[in-house]
C-alpha cells in the first residue's frame, strides 16, 4: 500500500513537468539557481528609518501633551498617563487603586451613567478605557477620525469628572470577589503569583495581594479620595496619535481642558523595594494536573543601571529564545518542556525579578530543575562562546528596526521615557552598550548578580508522579492556598444603594447627630458660595428656564420642549410642548387649590401624583434649596460626604458634590407620588446668569437606568414675572 | 428613534471607508500563482523598511490520519528543525544515523505489536538500542540553527500554529533580508528533515500537558468537542490524544507532508516594504523548485445530525466553568454572517445581551460570552457559549439565565439600534486591523484560502449589513434547540481520603 501510494504520487508529480517540456526551448533565460548556502546571500544596506517628529506642548493648566500626526488610517487614539499606581494602596484596602481605575470609566460622569457611555461609544465604534496598574495609570481613547470631537469630550469628562456611581462600585467589587475566588484555578497562575509574592515579600506593596476583606474595606469615599489625590493636570501627560492636524488638535485640547484646574501637592515617590524574601523551595499540590509549573529566581534590577545591557545579553543567552541554552538543553535535547525561559526582568523605576520559568511533566520535575541549575552554573563559571555573544548581539542589532516600524512605537516610547524620567535617546544608548558587551562582562555580571543560593523556588504540581521527590533539592515548605474569607460567600447584597437616598427613609430615621447637622450646614454654605453666594441666590425673585427634554427609547423616546417659570416664594408654571399637543400647569404652594392643568383634553385640576411632583419641584428649586438653612421647617445634614435636605412634608433630596468644582454633581431622591422609584439627576455644563450658576445639562436616571436628558437652552432671571402672568390660563 | 438618528452618519461613513480601503488596497496588491500551484499575495506598505511573511498551509488537525492525531501539529514543530544543510555537521552521516533509528524503531514496534505476548526483556533491549541510535544521530545536530538564523538576522514574531483547518508559519524581517526568507522558507518545504523527531515528540506531548491536561478550561473544551461532535475529525483537538502522540513515527510525518504540503495547498502573503516584481522573481527562483503534487482530498465525513441533548461533566477542583454548544453549518453556509451577528449581539462588548444581563445587572457571572464558529469553519462546527459563574453562583444558575436570554432572542426581534451597532462595529474593527503588517499578511492569506479571494476581507462586511433582525431570530429558532445542544461543565469531586497533605516533602 505504502509503496504504491508513493509511486503514484511521483508519477503525478512528473506529469506537469512533461506537459511543460515543449515550451522549454523558447522559454525565457533559465531561472537563476539557488545559492548553496544562506551565507552566500548578500544583503543591501537597510533603508534608513524615518523617525517621526513628535510635537510637544503644555496646556495652560499644566498638562503635558505629545502629538503625532499619522494619516495612514482614519483613526485617532490617545492616552493620558497619570502618575499613580497600586503601590499606593493602603495595606488594609489593597485593591483600591485597581477598583478606582475601573470605576473611573464604569461609574460614568455626572451627565451620563457608565452604561449610557458604553452605548454611545459602541454605537460609533469608539472606546474610552481607564486602568491603574502597578506604577502608572492611564485613561485612553480610540475613535474613527470623524468622531474625534465627541469622543474627546467623553474622554475629557471621564478623566476630569468621573461620577463613581455606587452601583458600579458594587459591580466591580462583586467581580473582584469572583476573581479572588478563582485565583487557584490554574496551576501556572498559582506558581507565578506565589513566586512574585515570595521574592518581594508578601507584606510589601510589591508582593501583597487583594483579599476579600481588603475589598470589603473600600468605600466610595475612598475611591473618590484616591482619584482626587492623583488625577490633576500637572500629574498627567497626554499623547494623541493619528489622523489629525497637530495645530487643530492642540487647539481642541486647549479648549477641552481649559476648565480643568484641579491642583494637588506633588505626588510622592513610589515605595522602595525592600525585599523580605526567604530563599528556599515552596510547593503547592495540585492533583488535577499532569505538569509541574515552576518559577525560580530572585530580585533583578533597573533599566538604567550600568550593567543592564550585559545582564540582558546574559539572560538572553541563558534563556531568551530558540537559540538559548535553556531552550536547547531542557526542550530540544531533553524533551522535558514546551515552555522554558529566563529573563533578567529589569523595570524602569524599581527592581524587577530575575526569573526562570517553565513547566514539565510531573515525573521530570526535579530532573528539569537540576538541568536548569547546571546551566546556571555553567553561565557563572565559564565564558560564553564568541558565537553565542555574536548571535545575541546580532539579534538586538538586526532587529533594531522593529523598534521604529510603526509611528506609535516612537510615541509610546517617548511617553514612557518621559514618565519615568529617562533620556529620550535611551534606546540608542542601549543599542550602543550592547555592541560593547564582552564575554568577560557576561561572566562578571552572571557571578555578581545571579546567586542561586538566594533563589526562591516555587513549584505547583502532583507529587504522586514525581520521579524524584522535590526534597532532593533541599527542604520544602508547603504553600497554603486557602483563600481567607472564602468560606462565607462574599456579599453581593450591597447593590442598588446607588439611587436609594438615606433620606428616603427619613421619617423613621433617628434624629441626626449634631455633627451631621454642623457639617451639613457647612457643606450647604460652601455649595451656596460655589453657586454664586447667598446674597445672589436670595436676590432671585423669578426665573424662566427653557429646555429640551429627550426620554430614552426604552421610556418611550419622547421629546418635549419645556418652559418652567418660578416666582418667589411658591408659584410654579410649566409648559410642555409634546408631539401630541401642549400641557400647561400652574401651582401655588401657598394655595394649592388654585392650581390647574391644561391638556389637549381640556382644562382641569392637577391630579394628585402630578401635584406631589410639582410640590416637590418647588421644594428643590435651586434658590429655596440653597437657602434651606434659613428655613426652620427644613433639616440640613451631611451623610457620607453628601448633603441631605428634607422638609416636614416628606420631601427630601440628597446632593453629591463634585470635588473638582465644588458644585453639585448630582441629586437623588424618591420620585414624588411614586416613592418606590429612585431618581438620580446628574448635572453638567454649569453657566452663570445674573451671578448665579445653573446646570445646562441634566441627565436623569430612574432606578439605576438612564431615563431622560434635559438640555437647558435659556435661563432668564428677574425679568419681572408677575403673579398674573404666571397664573394665566392658555 | 433617538439612537437610530445618531447612528446613521456613522454607518454611512464606515461604508465609504471600507470601499475606499478596498480600492486603495487593490492598487497595492499583486497576486500570482507559480506553475506548481503555490499562490502569492504581495501587499506593498512602504512606511518602514520591514516586511512580514505568512505561510498558510490549507491542512490542519482535521487531516490527521486515524490513530495519528497530533500529526499536523508534530509536523509544524519539525518545520523548525532545519534542512539538510542547515542544522547538520555532517548530513550524509546524520542521514544514515536517522535511517538506523527508523530500523531499530521498526524492530521495537514489531515486538510491541505482539501486545501481551511481547517479551519484556527483549523490549527493554530494543528500547536501549533505539536510545543509542537517537544519541548517535543527535551527535551530528547543530541545535536550533534554523530558528537561530532567523533571530540573528533580526527576525521578530517568529512562530507557527496548528489549528483544525490550517497550519500557519510566520515572522517579520528587516526589508533588506527578504531573500533570506525565500531561502529558508522554500528549503524547509522542499526537503524537510525529520531531525530530533522523537525528542520533539516529547515536547509536543508536553505542549498537550500544558494546554489541555493542566488547564481546567482546556480539559473542559476537549470534553465538549469530543462529546458534541461524534464523527467529524473536529472532535479531536489539534493537540491530539496522548497515546497517539507517543506513537507518532517519521514515516507518518513524511506521508503527511507529501500529501498536505503540496505547493498548490500553500498560500503565502507578503506585506511590507518590498517590490512586487522582485518578490515574484524570488518566488519563481526559490519556490519554483518544488514539484507540483496533487491536492489532498477534503475530509468527506459529514457530522450526522444530533438527535438529543448531550451533557458531559469533568471533575476539576477549579471554580465552575460551563460551555454550551450548538451545531451550526460551515462558513460557506448562507447563515454564516447571521451567526457572527448573533455572537456580536450576545457577547460583543459592554452593550451585549449576555454582558448586560449576566455580568452587569444580575451579577451572576464573572464572564459570559459566545464564539460563533468553533473549533473551525471549513466544515460544519459549533456555536459555543461560555459561562464563568461569579463567586457564590453555580454553572446551573448561569445556564438557566442563558436559556432565558436565548428564549428572548427567539421570541422578540432585536431592535434596529442594536443591529446598527453591530454593523458599525464590524466596519470599524476592520479598519483597526489594517495598520499591522503581520496581521494583514495573515488576513489576506486566510481570506484567500477560505473564500477564494482576499477581497472578501472587505466585502464580507456587506454580508453582515444584509443580516436582518428576522435572520437573527430565524437562526436562533432553528439552531438553538435542545436536540442540537451539548453542555459541558466542571464539577468538584469530593476530596479523596488519601489526598497528599504535604506533597512536596514526600
* Contact list, A333 vs chain B (CB under 8 Å): 138, 143, 199
The shortest CB-CB distance from B151 to any of A36, A323, A335 is to A323
CA B283 to chain CA centroid, nearest Å: 26
We report the CATH number of the domain holding residue A439 as: 3.30.830.10
Same domain, A515 and A467: no
Q: How far is A678 from chain B, CA to nearest CA, in Å?
A: 17
ipTM score here? 0.89
A34:B390 CB<8 A: no
Mean pLDDT of A161-179: 96
Phi and psi based region of residue A691 (left: phi greater than 0; alpha: psi -120 to 50; beta: remaining): left
Q: Which burial class, exposed, middle or buried, applies to A60 when counting CB atoms under 10 A from its CB (0-12, 13-18, 19+)?
A: exposed
Cell output for B225: 468537542
Mean pLDDT of A196-200: 95
In sequence order, the β-bridge partners of residue A285 are A461
Q: How far is B491 from chain A, CA to nearest CA, in Å?
A: 12
Same domain, A513 and A618: yes
CA A399 to chain CA centroid, nearest Å: 32
Same domain, A372 and A511: no
B138:A333 CB<8 A: yes
Q: How far is B149 from chain A, CA to nearest CA, in Å?
A: 9
Q: How far is B171 from chain A, CA to nearest CA, in Å?
A: 12
Q: Is residue A453 part of a domain?
A: yes
Q: How far is A26 from chain B, CA to nearest CA, in Å?
A: 17
A339:B184 CB<8 A: no
A391:B436 CB<8 A: no
B506 touches chain A (CB under 8 A): yes
The shortest CB-CB distance from B428 to any of A125, A338, A459 is to A125
Answer whether A638's CB lies under 8 Å from A519's CB.
yes
Q: Is residue A21 part of a domain?
A: no
Contacts of residue B197, Cβ cutoff 8 Å, sequence gap at least 6? B78, B101, B250, B253
Same domain, A156 and A67: yes
CA distance A164 to A172: 11
* Whole-number pLDDT of residue A491: 38
Which residues between 1 and 20 in chain B have a beta carbon less than 8 angstroms from any beta carbon of chain A? 1-3, 6-7, 9-10, 13-14, 17
The shortest CB-CB distance from B435 to any of A72, A144, A182 is to A72
A128-149: pLDDT as tens digits: 999 999 999 999 999 999 999 9
Q: Is residue A685 part of a domain?
A: yes
* Whole-number pLDDT of residue A10: 27
Q: Is residue A94 part of a domain?
A: yes
Same domain, A539 and A434: no
A17:B291 CB<8 A: yes
Cis peptide before B252 (omega within 30 of 0): no
* Contact list, A405 vs chain B (CB under 8 Å): 47-48, 50, 437
* Whole-number pLDDT of residue A554: 64
The DSSP line for B228-271 is H-SSSGGGS-TT--HHHHHT--HHHHHHHHHHHT-GGGEEEEEE
Same domain, A448 and A508: no
A518 touches chain B (CB under 8 A): no
A22 touches chain B (CB under 8 A): no
The shortest CB-CB distance from A31 to any of B206, B284, B432 is to B284
CA distance B224 to B386: 11
Q: Identify the band that residue A5 occupies on the pLDDT scale cut at 50, 70 and 90.
A: very low
Q: Is residue A46 part of a domain?
A: no
* Whole-number pLDDT of residue A659: 78
* Whole-number pLDDT of residue A553: 67
* Whole-number pLDDT of residue B19: 58
B252 touches chain A (CB under 8 A): no
* Whole-number pLDDT of residue A583: 83
Same domain, A721 and A602: yes
Cell output for A441: 562582562
Q: Which burial class, exposed, middle or buried, applies to B456 when counting CB atoms under 10 A from its CB (0-12, 13-18, 19+)?
A: middle
B149:A38 CB<8 A: yes
Same domain, A250 and A291: no
A242-264: pLDDT as tens digits: 999 999 999 999 999 999 999 99
The shortest CB-CB distance from A338 to any of B184, B207, B417 is to B207
Contacts of residue A128, Cβ cutoff 8 Å, sequence gap at least 6? A105, A117, A121, A139, A140, A141, A151, A154, A155, A158
B interface test, pick of A182, A316, A317 with most B CB neighbours within 10 Å: A182
Nearest CA in chain A to B202: A335
Same domain, A521 and A588: yes
* Whole-number pLDDT of residue B12: 36
The shortest CB-CB distance from B147 to any of A322, A401, A478 is to A322
* Whole-number pLDDT of residue B20: 64
* Contact list, B210 vs chain A (CB under 8 Å): 188, 291, 338-339, 359
B284 touches chain A (CB under 8 A): yes
List the domains of chain B with CATH numbers.
31-88+141-287 (3.30.830.10), 310-491 (3.30.830.10)
Q: Identify the band that residue A504 occupies on the pLDDT scale cut at 50, 70 and 90.
A: very low
Question: Residue B403: how many CB atoms within 10 A of its CB?
Answer: 13
* Whole-number pLDDT of residue A551: 77
The shortest CB-CB distance from A32 to any of B158, B196, B285 is to B285
Largest CA distance in chain A: 112
CA distance B198 to A550: 70
Same domain, A135 and A72: yes
CA distance A87 to A69: 34
Nearest CA in chain A to B154: A399
Q: Is residue A83 part of a domain?
A: yes
Q: Which burial class, exposed, middle or buried, applies to A488 when counting CB atoms under 10 A from its CB (0-12, 13-18, 19+)?
A: exposed
Residue A452's domain comprises: 280-401+421-478
Intra-chain end-to-end CA distance of chain B, in Å: 69
Q: Is residue A605 part of a domain?
A: yes
* Contact list, B432 vs chain A (CB under 8 Å): 75, 142
Q: Is residue A352 part of a domain?
A: yes
B interface test, pick of A3, A45, A174 with most B CB neighbours within 10 Å: A174
Is the pLDDT score of A94 beyond 80?
yes
B363 touches chain A (CB under 8 A): yes
Most confident of A2-16, A417-431, A506-520: A417-431
A335 touches chain B (CB under 8 A): yes
Q: Tally the domains of chain A.
A: 3
Higher pLDDT, A558 or A390: A390
A364 touches chain B (CB under 8 A): no
Q: Identify the band that residue A512 occupies on the pLDDT scale cut at 50, 70 and 90.
A: low
A398 touches chain B (CB under 8 A): yes
Mean pLDDT of A274-299: 92
Is the pLDDT score of A356 beyond 70?
yes
Q: How far is B385 from chain A, CA to nearest CA, in Å?
A: 19
A35 touches chain B (CB under 8 A): yes
Same domain, A320 and A247: no
The shortest CB-CB distance from B154 to any of A44, A401, A495 is to A401
B263 touches chain A (CB under 8 A): no
We report the CATH number of the domain holding residue A581 as: 2.50.20
Same domain, A432 and A529: no
**CA-based nearest residue to B405, from B352, B482, B329, B340:** B352
Least confident of A246-250, A430-434, A654-658: A654-658
B183:A553 CB<8 A: no
* Whole-number pLDDT of residue A638: 85
Is the pLDDT score of A507 beyond 60?
no
The shortest CB-CB distance from A179 to any of B183, B363, B366 is to B366
The shortest CB-CB distance from A550 to any of B2, B35, B425 is to B2
* Contact list, B203 vs chain A (CB under 8 Å): 331-332, 335, 337-338
Residues of chain B with pLDDT under 50: 1-16, 499-506
Amino acid at each position: 500500500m505504502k509503496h504504491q501510494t508513493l509511486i503514484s504520487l511521483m508519477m503525478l508529480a512528473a506529469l506537469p513537468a512533461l506537459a511543460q517540456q515543449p515550451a522549454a526551448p523558447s522559454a525565457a533565460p533559465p531561472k537563476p539557481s539557488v545559492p548553496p548556502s544562506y551565507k552566500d546571500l548578500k544583503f543591501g544596506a537597510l533603508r534608513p528609518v524615518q523617525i517621526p517628529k513628535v510635537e510637544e506642548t503644555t496646556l495652560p493648566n499644566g498638562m503635558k501633551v505629545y502629538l503625532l500626526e499619522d494619516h495612514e488610517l482614519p483613526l485617532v487614539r490617545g492616552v493620558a498617563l497619570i502618575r499613580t499606581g497600586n503601590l499606593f494602596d493602603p495595606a488594609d484596602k489593597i485593591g483600591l487603586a485597581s477598583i478606582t481605575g475601573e470605576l473611573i470609566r464604569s461609574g460614568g460622569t455626572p451627565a451620563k451613567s457608565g452604561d449610557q457611555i458604553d452605548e454611545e461609544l459602541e454605537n460609533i465604534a469608539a472606546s474610552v478605557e481607564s486602568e491603574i496598574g502597578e506604577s502608572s495609570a492611564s485613561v485612553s481613547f480610540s475613535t474613527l477620525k470623524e468622531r474625534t470631537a465627541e469622543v474627546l469630550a467623553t474622554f475629557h469628562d471621564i478623566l476630569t469628572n468621573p461620577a463613581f456611581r455606587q452601583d458600579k462600585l458594587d459591580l466591580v467589587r462583586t467581580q473582584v470577589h469572583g476573581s479572588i475566588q478563582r485565583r487557584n484555578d490554574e496551576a501556572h497562575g498559582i506558581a507565578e503569583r506565589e513566586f512574585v509574592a515570595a521574592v518581594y515579600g508578601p507584606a510589601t506593596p510589591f508582593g501583597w495581594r487583594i483579599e476579600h476583606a481588603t475589598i470589603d474595606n473600600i468605600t466610595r469615599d475612598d475611591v473618590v479620595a484616591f482619584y482626587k489625590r492623583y488625577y490633576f493636570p500637572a500629574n498627567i501627560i497626554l499623547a494623541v496619535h493619528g489622523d489629525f492636524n497637530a495645530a487643530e488638535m492642540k487647539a481642541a485640547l486647549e479648549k477641552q481642558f481649559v476648565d480643568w484646574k484641579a491642583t494637588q501637592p506633588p505626588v510622592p515617590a513610589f515605595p522602595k523595594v525592600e525585599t523580605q524574601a526567604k530563599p528556599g523551595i515552596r510547593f503547592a499540590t495540585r492533583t488535577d494536573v499532569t505538569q509541574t509549573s515552576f518559577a525560580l529566581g530572585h530580585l533583578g534590577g533597573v533599566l538604567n543601571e550600568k550593567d543592564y545591557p550585559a545582564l540582558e545579553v546574559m539572560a538572553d543567552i541563558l534563556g531568551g529564545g530558540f537559540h538559548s541554552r535553556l531552550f536547547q538543553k531542557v526542550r530540544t535535547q531533553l524533551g522535558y518542556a514546551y515552555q522554558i525561559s529566563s529573563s533578567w526582568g529589569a523595570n524602569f523605576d524599581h527592581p524587577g525579578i530575575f526569573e526562570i520559568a517553565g513547566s514539565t511533566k510531573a515525573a521530570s520535575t526535579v530532573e528539569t530543575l537540576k538541568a536548569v541549575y547546571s546551566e546556571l552554573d555553567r553561565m557563572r563559571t565559564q565564558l560564553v562562546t564568541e558565537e553565542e555573544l555574536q548571535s545575541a548581539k546580532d539579534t538586538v542589532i538586526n532587529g533594531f528596526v522593529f523598534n521604529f516600524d510603526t509611528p506609535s512605537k516612537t510615541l509610546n516610547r517617548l511617553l514612557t521615557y518621559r514618565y519615568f524620567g529617562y533620556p529620550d535617546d535611551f534606546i540608542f544608548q542601549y543599542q550602543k552598550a550592547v555592541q560593547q558587551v564582552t564575554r568577560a562582562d557576561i561572566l562578571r555580571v552572571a557571578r555578581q548578580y545571579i546567586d542561586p543560593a538566594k533563589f526562591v523556588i516555587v513549584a505547583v504540581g502532583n507529587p504522586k508522579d514525581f520521579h524524584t521527590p522535590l526534597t532532593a533539592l533541599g527542604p520544602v515548605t508547603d504553600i497554603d492556598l486557602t483563600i481567607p474569607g472564602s468560606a462565607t460567600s462574599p456579599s453581593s447584597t450591597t447593590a442598588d444603594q446607588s439611587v436609594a437616598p438615606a433620606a428616603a427613609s427619613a421619617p423613621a430615621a433617628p434624629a441626626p447627630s449634631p455633627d451631621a447637622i454642623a457639617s451639613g450646614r457647612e457643606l450647604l454654605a460652601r455649595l451656596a458660595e460655589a453657586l454664586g453666594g447667598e446674597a445672589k441666590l436670595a436676590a432671585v425673585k423669578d426665573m424662566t428656564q427653557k429646555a429640551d427634554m429627550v426620554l430614552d427609547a426604552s421610556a418611550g423616546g419622547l421629546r418635549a420642549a419645556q418652559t418652567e417659570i418660578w416666582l418667589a416664594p411658591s408659584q410654579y408654571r410649566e409648559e410642555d410642548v409634546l408631539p401630541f399637543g401642549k400641557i400647561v400647569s400652574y401651582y401655588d404652594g401657598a394655595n394649592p387649590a388654585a392650581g390647574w392643568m391644561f391638556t389637549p383634553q381640556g382644562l382641569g385640576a392637577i391630579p394628585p401624583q402630578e401635584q406631589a411632583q410639582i410640590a416637590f419641584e418647588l421644594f428643590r428649586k435651586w434658590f429655596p434649596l440653597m437657602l434651606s438653612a434659613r428655613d426652620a421647617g427644613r433639616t440640613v445634614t451631611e451623610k457620607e460626604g453628601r448633603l441631605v435636605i428634607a422638609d416636614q412634608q416628606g420631601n427630601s433630596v440628597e446632593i453629591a458634590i463634585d470635588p473638582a468644582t465644588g458644585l453639585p454633581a448630582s441629586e437623588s431622591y424618591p420620585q414624588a407620588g411614586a416613592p418606590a422609584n429612585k431618581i438620580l439627576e446628574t448635572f453638567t455644563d454649569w453657566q452663570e446668569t445674573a451671578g448665579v450658576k445653573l446646570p445646562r445639562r441634566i441627565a436623569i436616571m430612574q432606578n439605576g437606568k438612564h431615563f431622560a436628558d434635559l438640555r437647558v437652552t435659556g435661563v432668564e432671571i428677574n425679568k419681572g414675572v408677575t403673579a398674573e402672568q404666571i397664573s394665566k390660563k392658555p | 428613534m433617538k439612537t437610530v438618528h445618531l447612528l446613521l452618519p456613522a454607518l454611512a461613513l464606515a461604508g465609504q471607508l471600507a470601499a475606499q480601503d478596498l480600492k486603495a488596497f487593490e492598487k497595492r496588491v499583486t497576486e500570482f500563482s507559480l506553475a506548481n500551484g503555490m499562490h502569492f499575495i504581495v501587499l506593498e506598505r512602504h512606511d518602514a523598511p520591514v516586511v512580514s511573511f505568512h505561510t498558510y498551509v490549507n491542512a490542519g488537525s482535521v487531516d490527521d490520519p486515524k490513530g495519528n492525531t497530533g500529526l499536523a501539529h508534530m509536523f509544524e514543530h519539525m518545520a523548525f528543525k532545519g534542512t539538510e544543510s542547515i542544522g547538520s555537521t555532517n548530513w550524509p552521516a546524520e542521514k544514515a544515523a536517522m535511517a538506523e533509528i527508523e530500523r531499530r524503531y521498526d524492530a521495537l514496534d514489531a515486538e510491541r505489536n505482539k501486545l501481551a505476548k511481547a517479551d519484556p526483556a527483549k523490549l527493554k533491549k530494543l528500547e536501549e538500542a533505539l536510545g543509542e541510535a537517537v544519541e548517535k544521530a543527535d551527535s551530528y545536530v547543530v541545535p536550533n540553527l534554523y530558528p537561530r538564523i532567523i533571530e540573528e538576522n533580526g527576525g521578530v514574531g517568529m512562530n507557527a500554529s496548528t489549528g483544525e483547518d490550517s497550519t500557519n508559519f510566520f515572522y517579520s524581517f528587516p526589508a533588506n533580508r527578504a531573500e533570506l526568507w525565500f531561502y529558508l522558507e522554500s528549503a524547509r518545504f522542499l526537503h524537510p528533515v525529520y531531525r530530533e523527531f522523537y525528542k520533539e515528540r516529547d515536547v509536543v506531548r508536553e505542549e498537550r500537558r500544558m494546554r489541555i491536561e493542566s488547564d481546567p478550561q482546556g480539559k473542559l473544551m476537549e470534553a465538549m468537542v469530543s462529546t458534541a461532535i461524534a464523527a467529524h475529525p473536529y472532535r479531536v483537538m489539534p493537540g491530539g490524544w496522548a497515546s497517539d502522540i507517543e506513537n507518532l513515527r517519521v514515516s507518518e510525518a513524511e506521508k503527511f507532508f507529501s500529501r498536505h504540503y503540496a505547493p498548490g495547498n500553500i498560500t503565502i502573503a507578503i506585506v511590507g516594504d518590498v517590490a512586487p516584481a522582485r518578490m515574484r522573481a524570488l518566488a519563481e527562483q526559490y519556490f519554483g523548485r518544488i514539484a507540483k503534487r496533487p491536492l489532498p482530498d477534503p475530509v468527506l465525513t459529514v457530522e450526522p445530525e444530533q438527535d438529543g441533548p448531550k451533557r458531559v461533566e469533568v471533575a476539576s477542583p477549579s471554580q465552575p466553568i460551563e460551555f454550551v454548544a450548538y451545531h451550526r453549518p460551515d462558513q460557506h453556509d448562507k447563515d454564516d454572517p447571521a451567526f457572527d451577528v448573533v455572537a456580536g449581539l450576545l457577547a460583543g462588548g459592554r452593550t451585549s445581551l449576555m454582558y448586560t444581563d449576566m455580568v452587569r445587572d444580575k451579577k451572576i457571572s464573572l464572564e459570559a460570552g459566545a464564539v460563533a464558529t468553533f473549533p473551525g469553519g471549513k466544515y460544519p462546527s459549533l456555536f459555543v457559549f461560555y459561562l464563568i459563574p461569579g463567586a457564590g453562583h453555580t454553572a446551573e444558575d448561569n445556564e438557566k439565565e442563558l436559556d432565558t436570554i436565548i428564549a428572548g432572542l427567539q421570541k422578540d426581534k432585536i431592535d434596529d439600534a442594536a443591529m446598527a451597532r453591530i454593523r458599525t462595529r464590524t466596519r470599524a474593527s476592520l479598519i483597526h486591523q489594517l495598520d499591522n503588517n503581520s496581521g494583514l499578511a495573515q488576513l489576506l492569506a486566510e481570506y484567500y484560502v477560505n473564500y477564494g479571494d482576499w477581497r472578501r476581507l472587505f466585502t464580507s462586511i456587506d454580508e453582515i449589513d444584509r443580516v436582518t433582525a428576522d435572520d437573527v431570530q430565524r437562526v436562533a429558532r432553528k439552531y438553538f434547540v435542545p436536540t442540537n445542544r451539548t453542555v459541558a461543565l466542571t464539577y468538584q469531586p469530593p476530596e479523596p481520603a488519601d489526598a497528599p497533605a504535604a506533597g512536596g516533602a514526600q
